[in-house]
Amino acid sequence: GVLGAEVVMLTVFMIAAGRIGEPVALDSHRTGFFVTASAATLAMGFQNAALRRTPDTAVHTTFVTGMLTELSVAVVRWILNAQRGRESEAIRSRQIASVALIIWSAYLLGAITGAWLVSRHGIWTLSLPIALLLSLIPSLLQPAAPSPR
């Protein structure tokens, strides 16, 4: 349901921004600014609520600094635990750092790709991540398989 709400907000943002057809600014498009800013903000909030944790670490899917903090803390813990001979804790810290690095790398790749797509094809390229989210929803609605005993 949360991802469905995100899809709705992303769609509202895309349509509103696409209809205006130029960068939306408070001084020139007051209503458009509030519609697009609200829709984008709500979409980010829904995204952040959809995934909050992996088994080992907190996940921040909408702000880069949160994952950079997770990455930095995990790397420092990894180094310190390795130096102190705490092998299992060092391995766990390395795993957490790996998850944070993968997520942060996905941010970077997404930012570069998204900026390139929008500069070439306009705001309507947002339909690609909307379609991806829509394709994920049915699999997330499936009941979880019972755990083996």
What's the pLDDT score for residue 90? 93
What's the pLDDT score for residue 9? 92
Tokens at 122, concatenated:
């306009």
What's the pLDDT score for residue 62? 67
What's the pLDDT score for residue 82? 94
| Dihedral pair phi/psi, residue 58, rounded to 5° | -70, 150
Distances (CA, A) of 138 to 2, 24, 93: 13, 34, 34
Q: How far apart are CA 129 and CA 21, in angstroms?
A: 20
Q: Can you state the angle between helices 30-50 and 2-20, rounded to 10 degrees?
A: 160
What's the pLDDT score for residue 66? 78
The low-confidence residues of the chain, meaning pLDDT below 70, are 26, 51-63, 144-149
| Dihedral pair phi/psi, residue 54, rounded to 5° | -105, 175
What's the pLDDT score for residue 56? 63
What's the pLDDT score for residue 100? 86
Task: Using alpha carbons, select from 7, 2, 32 the residue that is nearest to residue 135.
Answer: 7
Task: Using alpha carbons, select from 120, 114, 116 the residue that is nearest to residue 10.
Answer: 114
